[in-house]
Amino acid sequence: MTFGFVAKHRGAWPVLMMCEAPGVSRSGFYGWLSRPRSQRSRDDDVLSNQIRKSVLGSDRTYGARRVWHEVLALGQSCGPDIEQQAT
């Protein structure tokens, strides 16, 4: 999240200043820029899109449980079921 903020605002403020404020290194930021996105990040994007489609498809009337069940029906693992599977 911190590196995303720095990347988004690096045209407005110097990278060094934005990295010093939260206590991250400039080299870490530039390393983050060159690394490919993690599988977790890509999976989170897929899940976010499915949640967004569910919410918008219901005219924003579905609650968290209904959205969760709809996402599970699409075959996406999320929510409390993940914790139960791990134990």
pLDDT at 49 exceeding the cut of 90 = yes
Quick: pLDDT tens for 8-39: 999 999 999 999 988 899 999 999 999 998 99
Tokens 């407005």 — which residue? 12
Interval 48-57 mean pLDDT: 92
What token pair was written down for 12? 């407005």
Alpha-carbon distance of 29 to 1, in angstroms, equals: 11
Check if the beta carbon of residue 67 is closer than 8 Å to that of residue 60. no
Buried b (16+ CB within 10 A) or exposed e, 52-72: eebbeeeeeebeeeebbebbe
Alpha-carbon distance of 31 to 35, in angstroms, equals: 6
How much is the pLDDT for 22?
87
